Structure 1
Amino acid sequence: MSNNIEKNKTLYQLLQGNIAVPDYQRDYAQGRINDKKIEDTRLKFIDDIIAAACGKSITHMGLVYGSANSALKGFVAVDGQQRLTTAYLFHLYLAKRLGRDVSEELSRCLSHFGWHGRMYASEFTELLLSFDNWSEVGDSLGTYLRESANYFTVWEKDPTVNNMLVMLDAIHGKLKNVSSDFLLKMANNLVSDKCGLVFDYMLLDKDTDEFLYQKMNSRGRDLTTYELFKQKFQSEVALSEAFKTKIDNSWLCFFDSKASVLNLETDVCYQNYINETALFLEIRNTNDNFFYVSAIEDSKLKGNRTDVGFIPFEAYSELVKNKDLVERIFDWITINFDCVESVVASLEYKGETNQLLSIFNIPTWSVRVFNYAIVQYAQKTDFSLVDKDHFWLWWRLVHNLIANTNIDSNNIFNIIKKIDEVPAEGIEDYLMEAKEEYFNIFQFKEEKLKISLSRGNRELISVFTNLEKDIRFKGQISMLLPDEETITADEMVRIAKHFECLVEGRYDASIIDFSFVRTCLTFYVEEDGEGLNKVFMGNAPSHFRLEDGFPAVFIKRMFRDYLHWLASGKGCDAGEYLVYRDREWMKQYDELSYDRKKKLYWVKFLYTNGDMCKEYFDRSRDKTFLVRVNGDMACCWLYHKSYRNEEDILIGTRRKEVIETCIPGVENASLRHEGGFQHPIYKYLFVYFDLNGIWFGIRQNSDCEVKMLPENTVCSSANYKAWRWFKSLGELNYYYEHEGEALADYLVRLKEEFDIDVKRFLQQIGMNLDNFNGR
């Protein structure tokens, strides 16, 4: 077929001649109501058109094609009538809103579009052209038109008329508050050669089977994206007869079988896999996927029909350039998919949602990388028949790396580059020497350790695999792996049983044992990270995962200690161990230096205030917890992980005693974080206890008059007439007594200094305390 395609044509250019929508076309559908998908698409489509009309972006509306009609002296739309109608209504709306201000060129050409052979739709379009004064329309353009004396109620029987009214209302909803100057700018852009709203345009040759498309539309079935792609692909690309035959035979049968499993149309699965293949070829070969990701992602959102889903053919440029490779990929996947899928399914973690079948529907980025890795495996094995055992060993390692790495459009380049390095042969040797980058570094280290321990021992690998699939671990079992250089399969099984004995249901998603979590925290050490201030608690099993720091690191240390305790013969029950460990830690704490006690006081606080902490823990068991530690000041809080407001705080350590000392009678001192407490005597003064210290402030909405602001000591801001820090961090610890000082004595001295400083501050801003009347 030799149809010539003209690129990037604007509707204004097409309207230089007549455009007719023939009577065999289905009704205009983009204004349908009671269909959430179409409604969302409609609003997104209008946004895209507005962005293009404003010159902010390019909105490519795909291919429209049709035949010449000598009687109409114009173009008869075979496909694309939905998009053409929407674009026409947008042009018409701007022209009618602008009235006399619109350019003569745009106003003149609007009469060149019509629905041929449909009386009601044709009459209604003529009415739209005759209407003026759209600038006076209120909130509903549809109501305005229906209330016109020239509107015939019989038109309401025509779905095309009704849907055009809905679309016009949607356009009006977006633009009703926009100024005339801005509308004029958009209208001028639309008639410009630089217009960003464009089509690809194809006039069918006389020998083209237009009748096929007429039959589809007369049955009410619009062309799918795949049918359009196939038409375009076969007309633009030189394909062998064998390639063409596979498209409609072996490949079609394959995608039909996958579609039946997913309860989808065959064309959807077919086109989605074409899109995914095009996507990874573009990313791999050009290092620039933004345009193509956007186009392909939009096709997922908008569906598979040409009236709502369209992808510029340029998105398939690398697929076209590599058509021989594409043919081999499709041949290989058609023959080997079932074998590959069985291996992938056998290694899935319990509860994993990254099924390979998703590549034919709406895949995650992880599934996309799964597919890419598998295709790379095929290419590196010269697209030979899959050796199931060999692929199993290879996929187990690759799957662990991919599944435990957060992947999105921002890091997909680097992930693909790393996969390109992975060989099909000798993967274990490669991973042992490979640089730990791009994939989850903890997972990378774990895979190296497991390779070192197993060294081809299939029995031990089998034990590792079974543990990896456990929902508790999801591929991350380093907390079970020994420090020794060797281990047998039996020893690994025994260690796993000991782990279950210790953990059991104590750290389960639905039942979290506070005592178990508290004991885990005793294995915190300063070396976990300088400035560490976040420790996650709760919401298992995901927080067994290594990247979270806690509890994986702490549980691993506790488990090692538990194994030593078992080996020492001190006991054999996990419950006994937890009691023993708690008692030993409290003894060790009493022997620590002053500085170490300060740093670990937050852990002791969980012990000495156990009942209160457990009460909050139990009350909010369904939430994820966060411990925040503030360095030398030994401030510790338990939050809900959401940390959305001040009331999320659950517990504070020494800060509570400090607040209650400085602000006598304050309620819920432990339940507020960085919130202001009103001073019990100076009612307009608020005192704040934040992470860095204590400060006083007079709010702007106070009726207290501030007379002066001495430099360097007192400041003002948008919310405070005056404020100042209390003392300096060098003079007081704020939340902790000094070394050698009893807490009670420290609090007395703190209170004295605090009261003196408050009075000094008030005097600095001109307050006469002798005449204070408690305002």
Structure 2
Amino acid sequence: MDNKKTAEKMPFWQLLQNSKIEIPIIQRDYAQGRPEQIKVRERFLNTLHNTLEFSQGIELDFIYGSQVDDTMQPLDGQQRLTTLYLLHWYFAKKANLLSEFKKFFKNFSYETRISSREFCEALVSENIDIDHLQSTDKLSEIIIDRPWFFLSWKNDPTISAMLNMLDAIHHKFYNIEQGWQKLTDTKLIQFYHLDLDNFGLSDDLYIKMNARGKPLTTFENFKALLEKQISVDNWEEKSLIPTEKFAYKIDNTWTDLLWCFRDENDLFDDGFLQLISNIYLITRTKKENIQQISNEPTLLMPGMFDKNSFDYLVQTLDSYSRVDFKQLNSSLPMMKYLHFKDINYENFFELIVKSEGITYPQRVMFFAQTSYLNINAKFDSDNFADWMRVIRNVVNNSTIDNDESFIGALGLVRELAQGSNDIYKYLSENSVISKFASKQVEEEGLKAKTIIVSMDNKQPIHQLEDTKFCQGRIKFALDCLATFDPTQLNKIRTNVVEKYFNANDITNDIRRVLLTIGDNKFYYYWGSWLYALNQPKRCLIANTEDLKKSLSEYNYYLKELTQLLVDNHPAEVIADYQIPKDMPNWKKRLIQEPGLLEKSKQHYVAISRDDSRCWLIPLSRVANSDEGRLLCEEVI
């Protein structure tokens, strides 16, 4: 059964015109506007803002509810509905259209408390002048200051949260043009409205979800609805014994798995929902829903799952329930070499459950870890570590910062996972179809073939990969070897990489050596314009990261630099260099005078168009004035 076929797709304004919306007493207070929910609020508002600003439609997926007479009572979705209501109210006020559409705005009401219901009525009926507000003003202060506002209302958590949300909306959407038209004349923001009566659900679901008499968490709502969907869509074999069914496992086996991640109140609901959301995301092969769920895991709805993604969810949770986490943790020593902000976790399962603001690269690493566990019945520490290392090298040396690149990375991992039990053997024998990070994948294949020839080659390759400078990319070093020699590779690591490249910046002596290599124009990798002198502006390598990434396009500079330094000190290289007769004098001076480059603190220079002189720029930029020009020291 496809739930979307039984649901009606619509924007909020259509729902509000068609039916009354009443948040029932059984529901908890409005939470998205609470001060402590700033991250949740900001992520959701950012998604809505980007949708309106760039006219890129989104789906907020399912809003579940039951129809009572002419009123829809939402079981799940009240947070999104309330925020959308306040957003529509705000733009209607800005457009002076609230009185015209008053009857429709009165269709929205909170029944959780009398004060909440009265406040919603007052928002629509009473006078609130917001025409003169600036973006930095607080809309809540205007409302609280009105004579009809009861000070006791400030103690109502729903009203307090609504006021806070209105301030956030005013600040975020103040400069959006034609907001009302975009919300009501288009279908940019839509969801699926699912009538639970038509879906075959009854009041027992409400009872089950509220049996404790406490406000429901988003996870509890999600779990109950997913269990019902499993039953309705027949996703589980009827022959399954009770302890193998989803409903049992999520309350027992998988609860045990998450128990160590509970908070001070013995709750782990947020972490569990975040885990399930990310398991859903790593099954994606298309961009649908990725951005919304990435920004806000609570937007995940059971209706987004199909049979395949449900089966993957069960398989993954089962795999993590079986694995020995001590063995898993000890196999991931390379975690510390990942340039992620979160490096204090033992494994990627823990990172996904506990970390805030999970990134696309982190999800890819979680997918790699999960793929190994799902595919390989027997856990082998060495094979797992090799597999994770290869994916780490790819992730570290590629850009994964949007939906498209994320899907590309998932596709590559999905393809390579077939050989995750012996990734070096797989890479040495198979061509990779995926085009994602093709250069790094090609390098991984080259290293794999070298390792397969002799396992003695594995350690020096890994040691070089694990340097701060390389972080998995060692192609420049391999290019320095006519034939692979582990001893020579170790010399490159100790005599060059660890000695000269492992700090945040290279020394000016290294820059002077670079000026002796090839055509002596390595600085052409970067170009701009210095208006103060009206001359081309170049960079003599900004930092070590610049040396690694930017010169990868000019590999012979980095290759020759490495070869020169393996057996020689920079001073020796410079002393042995035979300066060409046609070399400009300014360049000779930079090479021969050790202290000259110290005058360019951030390593920027201007070079005349006829190459006859250069100017040392003290910082990254100077003012376009006589004063700025005088700060630049001319070298002739």
TM-score normalised by the chain length of structure 1: 0.64
Is this contact kept in 1: 2:31–2:37, CA < 8 A?
no
**Aligned residue identity for 2:64:** Y
**Aligned residue identity for 1:246:** K
2:204 alignment partner in structure 1: 208
Aligned mate of 1:268, from 267, 270, 276? 270
Cα distance in structure 2, aligned partners of 1:548 and 1:314 = 48
After superposition, residues 728-743 of structure 1 pair within 5 angstroms as: none
Cα distance in structure 2, aligned partners of 1:634 and 1:130 = 76
Structure-2 change in CA distance of 1:74 and 1:3 (3 Å): farther
Tell me how far 1:469 sits from its aligned partner.
1.8
State the SS of the aligned residue for 1:470: coil
Aligned mate of 1:471, from 468, 471, 474? 468
More deviation, 396-405/552-561: 552-561
1:152 alignment partner in structure 2: 150
> For residues 458-513 of structure 1, what are the alpha-carbon distances to aligned partners after superposition, in whole Å with 9 as ceiling and x for unaligned?
333123223322324322345555524253x556545644447xx63x55536753
1:384 maps onto 2:377 in alignment? yes
Structure-2 change in CA distance of 1:125 and 1:538 (3 Å): closer
Tell me how far 1:385 sits from its aligned partner.
1.8
Cα distance in structure 1, aligned partners of 2:63 and 2:153 = 28
5+ residue gaps, structure 2: 528-537
Is this contact kept in 2: 1:120–1:155, CA < 8 A?
yes
1:81 maps onto 2:81 in alignment? no
Is this contact kept in 2: 1:279–1:293, CA < 8 A?
yes
**Aligned residue identity for 1:369:** V
Aligned mate of 1:514, from 505, 508, 511? 508
> For residues 608-639 of structure 1, what are the alpha-carbon distances to aligned partners after superposition, in whole Å with 9 as ceiling and x for unaligned?
5543322x25xx3xx5x356767863555556
Tell me how far 1:582 sits from its aligned partner.
1.8
2:533 alignment partner in structure 1: none
**Aligned residue identity for 1:8:** K
> For residues 378-424 of structure 1, what are the alpha-carbon distances to aligned partners after superposition, in whole Å with 9 as ceiling and x for unaligned?
56xx5422233333344443432332223332434444444444351
Structure-2 change in CA distance of 1:267 and 1:628 (3 Å): farther
**Aligned residue identity for 1:545:** K
Aligned mate of 2:560, from 553, 557, 560? 557
1:108 maps onto 2:103 in alignment? yes
1:633 maps onto 2:611 in alignment? yes
Identity %: 20
Tell me how far 1:606 sits from its aligned partner.
0.7
Is this contact kept in 2: 1:442–1:547, CA < 8 A?
no
Structure-2 change in CA distance of 1:128 and 1:507 (3 Å): closer
Cα distance in structure 1, aligned partners of 2:334 and 2:175 = 57
Cα distance in structure 2, aligned partners of 1:672 and 1:111 = 67
State the SS of the aligned residue for 2:471: coil
Give the length in aligned residue pairs: 597
Tell me how far 1:330 sits from its aligned partner.
3.6
2:456 alignment partner in structure 1: 459
After superposition, residues 637-716 of structure 1 pair within 5 angstroms as: 643=620, 645-647=621-623, 669=629, 671=631
1:6 maps onto 2:2 in alignment? no
Cα distance in structure 1, aligned partners of 2:491 and 2:94 = 79
Tell me how far 1:604 sits from its aligned partner.
1.5
**Aligned residue identity for 1:578:** P
1:310 maps onto 2:299 in alignment? yes
Structure whose CA Rg is larger: 1
Is this contact kept in 2: 1:137–1:144, CA < 8 A?
no
Cα distance in structure 2, aligned partners of 1:215 and 1:237 = 25
Tell me how far 1:95 sits from its aligned partner.
5.8
2:34 alignment partner in structure 1: 32
Is this contact kept in 2: 1:22–1:77, CA < 8 A?
yes
Cα distance in structure 1, aligned partners of 2:18 and 2:525 = 68
Structure-2 change in CA distance of 1:449 and 1:95 (3 Å): closer
1:406 maps onto 2:408 in alignment? no
Is this contact kept in 1: 2:278–2:363, CA < 8 A?
yes
1:253 maps onto 2:261 in alignment? no
2:574 alignment partner in structure 1: 582
Cα distance in structure 2, aligned partners of 1:16 and 1:546 = 57
5+ residue gaps, structure 1: 301-308, 567-573, 650-665, 674-688, 690-734, 736-742, 744-775
More deviation, 264-273/528-537: 528-537
Cα distance in structure 1, aligned partners of 2:174 and 2:507 = 58
TM-score normalised by the chain length of structure 2: 0.75
> For residues 644-700 of structure 1, what are the alpha-carbon distances to aligned partners after superposition, in whole Å with 9 as ceiling and x for unaligned?
x44599xxxxxxxxxxxxxxxx87757459xxxxxxxxxxxxxxx9xxxxxxxxxxx
Structure-2 change in CA distance of 1:478 and 1:29 (3 Å): closer
Is this contact kept in 1: 2:467–2:502, CA < 8 A?
no
Cα distance in structure 2, aligned partners of 1:401 and 1:626 = 31
After superposition, residues 410-449 of structure 1 pair within 5 angstroms as: 410-422=404-416, 423-424=418-419, 425=422, 427-428=424-425, 430-431=427-428, 434=431, 438=435, 443-444=440-441, 446-449=443-446
Is this contact kept in 1: 2:618–2:631, CA < 8 A?
no
State the SS of the aligned residue for 1:275: helix
Is this contact kept in 1: 2:622–2:628, CA < 8 A?
no
**Aligned residue identity for 2:299:** F
State the SS of the aligned residue for 2:8: strand
> For residues 218-258 of structure 1, what are the alpha-carbon distances to aligned partners after superposition, in whole Å with 9 as ceiling and x for unaligned?
5345433743663564355322243413333333332444x
Tell me how far 1:34 sits from its aligned partner.
7.0
